Structure 1
Amino acid sequence: MQKILLFIWLLAGGTALNAQTKFEGEIKNGTDSSILAGATVRWVEKNITKITDSSGQFRFENIPVGKQAFEITYAGFEAYKT
């Protein structure tokens, strides 16, 4: 099984009372760093999924501040959990 490599950018925004963040990143092959377009990224708690674009990128908005679990899957690769 090949491994997934996750590059993430966490962008903080919002106010102290109602802080929300954006969670975005790029999914690549952990072996050769090739882009994985069409990978599934799932926000576990809300069961919301995004599919990576042709550049391997994804984006979630309005993520509450704090620990969140995400799962990334792609055919032929081990699932990656954060």
Structure 2
Amino acid sequence: MRAFLASYRCEIVGRLGQIHASTDRKARYIVLSDMSQPEHYVQCLFIEGDTRMLCEVASGFYRAEKGEDRVKLVSPQGLSAL
């Protein structure tokens, strides 16, 4: 987490702090999306007493029509950052 914050410090840091400080055990996640392309998103859930996060990134699998090649929305570099 410290490496992530050092590399990607931005408004997300404050949001993560709010989630961590919340006593609402059902509100342990954050969703980040591109408002111009809502199918591009990442959602993360705090787990194990907020010591780890489980993240899911949009794959693009369902974006393609039947018979079309499947598109990858996230580059290998983006996955590495995540």
- Pick the TM interval, shorter chain: 0.3 to 0.5
- Give me the TM-score of the superposition, normalised by structure 1: 0.34
If asked which structure has higher relative contact order (CA below 8 Å, sep 6+), I would say 1
Normalising by structure 2, we get a TM-score of 0.34
Larger-gyration structure (1/2): 2
